[in-house]
Chains A and B, each alone.
Chain A
């Protein structure tokens, strides 16, 4: 306990000085002794490492103990002073205690008494130190919190994208200036207001509600395009809304990031206008040329020689190539700009499947393929864009028919699968080679072999399907065996009731 404590003894009596030094050194203390107040104060002032405890005689020649005590309180407040009273007079001890001394010991004292009183002073000192540390730490962490808060505020205020944070009751608790600007409510005081009340945007409000209603520990991100009006006109925003979860996975609120895509939209519109123009202006003459070539080729404009016919066939192949290229160009533009999920609504997927199957029936029949739809009652609803879903199933079922064998079958089945609605599209077709499987969702990838050579396609169908499914927070996977068939499995999150 006394280990390594640094102690100063000021006493004019050598017996006391030596006695104290002997007793305390034995306890492991580092002890220094001086015989008067002046020397003591000098030492206190000059020592690099401060003393922990001062044993101070009150009655000394020269400056008195009380004066030393007074000076010490000005030099080092942390120094604990124990006064040594010569006559065991309580009054002088009381005065000293009033003057800032911590304790006193009356002469004559036993080694144990000294040890006890020093021990007690050291104990108090370490307690004080601990309290001080705690206080400092607390101040520091408060400062950190304030720093962190101001840092976050600075960061989000600098952002070009809007940030909107709500609590569990969808009241706005934090936002940046960009958010209010993009939503056209600049300058309004919206903190603590309900989101639905102060931001007149149903889509955004719905996304926030949906994010807040998310089941425990399930992270979702709701991405959509919304429009809002600003002074300068209509603004298109892409918003991402997600729940904010605490350590236990409970939803504490929501955060929405708003990204201005007005310019992208304009550029995209221009691009698609341009592509439409190209398609018409380029496609029309090429297809007219092709038409003329086929008329000549078939001898409808007068008889031709065999050599001429061969050349015309070649020429037609070339124009067909150009037309395919134009088609690809337009398909790419569709892929780049087209996958926008805008009209998600609660949907009975079986209805869409029934309609699509009906539509594909003639195509299946023409190839002698049985097309079955297996569904049941009471299947969960999904949040889906109807048109997108039609695209998806037309693509997949059409593939299942195209890459099938004469007399084969396509089975579409819908079932409930935990949190998901699951759709399997299984065919008895030619299957996909193992080496090609990982790449079938890549753009422009087509499985090339003698069986597929005659099948027309750009290889854009599956990437589009995948993009659509992912935009619905779902997933698509494929299983296939060469020569036996292929099964695509879609999982779409069900709407929780």
Chain B
């Protein structure tokens, strides 16, 4: 049997992490979790996940910083990162300005909360 893809979910909201875990486990992924940026970074390095789903707004170290550190490290920069954005705006402005303003380091973005099927689709695409 093929090895289950391992997904690291990093979010400070444990309920949210739990929901994502259910969605992903339902799709037969192995899920490991972390509850802040520092822990997320450590687990990303220790557990060599196949995909990281990373929340942006977190205590200690935010998602951008974690993303930046991993992408700057040649050992880990191949791990795809799906950034969970909760930047509230349905004006396209904020999102795009952000993208233009900084280098697009994450491999994909998705707004919280996410539709389960959409999350699965994005995760699958990044794991290809």
Report if A326-B96 is in contact (Cβ < 8 Å); known contacts: A291-B113, A300-B26.
Answer: no
- Are A287 and B16 interface neighbours, CB within 8 A? yes
- Are A331 and B113 interface neighbours, CB within 8 A? no
Give the contact stretch, choosing among A132-140, A190-198, A276-284, A481-489. Answer: A276-284
3 interchain residue pairs of minimum CB distance: A291-B19, A290-B113, A288-B15
Report B-chain residues with C-beta under 8 Å of the C-beta of A491: none
Report if A359-B99 is in contact (Cβ < 8 Å); known contacts: A287-B113, A288-B19, A458-B91.
Answer: yes
Give the contact stretch, choosing among B40-48, B71-79, B82-90. Answer: B82-90
How far does the Cβ of B98 sit from chain A's closest Cβ, in whole Å?
A: 11
Q: How far is the CA of A260 from the CA of B90 in the complex (A)?
A: 34
A464 at the interface (CB under 8 A from B): yes
Report if A283-B88 is in contact (Cβ < 8 Å); known contacts: A291-B114, A295-B116.
Answer: yes
B65 at the interface (CB under 8 A from A): no
Interface residues of B in 1-32 (CB under 8 A from A): 13, 15-16, 18-20, 22-23, 26
- Which A residues lie at the B interface, using CB under 8 A? 279-280, 283-285, 287-292, 294-295, 298, 300-301, 323-324, 326-327, 330-331, 334, 355, 359, 387, 390-391, 394-395, 398, 456-458, 460-461, 464
Name the one of A291, A300, A331, A391 contacting B112, with C-beta atoms under 8 angstroms: A291
| 4 more A-B residue pairs beyond the given contacts A324-B90, A464-B93, with a C-beta to C-beta distance below 8 A | A288-B19, A330-B88, A334-B94, A394-B93
- Are B89 and A295 interface neighbours, CB within 8 A? no
Report A-chain residues with C-beta under 8 Å of the C-beta of B101: 387
Report B-chain residues with C-beta under 8 Å of the C-beta of A292: 15, 18-19
How far does the Cβ of B20 sit from chain A's closest Cβ, in whole Å?
A: 7
Report A-chain residues with C-beta under 8 Å of the C-beta of B96: 359, 390, 394
- Are A391 and B115 interface neighbours, CB within 8 A? no
Report B-chain residues with C-beta under 8 Å of the C-beta of A458: 90-91
**Interface residue total, chain B, C-beta cutoff 8 A:** 29
Report B-chain residues with C-beta under 8 Å of the C-beta of A290: 113
Report B-chain residues with C-beta under 8 Å of the C-beta of A295: 19, 22-23, 116
Report B-chain residues with C-beta under 8 Å of the C-beta of A394: 92-93, 96-97
Report if A300-B22 is in contact (Cβ < 8 Å); known contacts: A283-B86, A291-B113.
Answer: yes
Q: How far is the CA of A355 from the CA of B99 in the complex (A)?
A: 12
Report B-chain residues with C-beta under 8 Å of the C-beta of A398: 92
- Are B116 and A327 interface neighbours, CB within 8 A? no
Q: How far is the CA of A327 from the CA of B88 in the complex (A)?
A: 5
- Are B97 and A287 interface neighbours, CB within 8 A? no
In the complex, 19 of the A-B residue pairs with CB atoms within 8 angstroms, ordered by the A residue number, are A279-B86, A279-B88, A287-B16, A287-B112, A291-B15, A291-B16, A292-B19, A294-B113, A294-B116, A295-B19, A298-B116, A298-B117, A323-B113, A324-B90, A330-B88, A387-B97, A387-B101, A394-B93, A395-B91
B91 closest partner in A (C-beta): A461
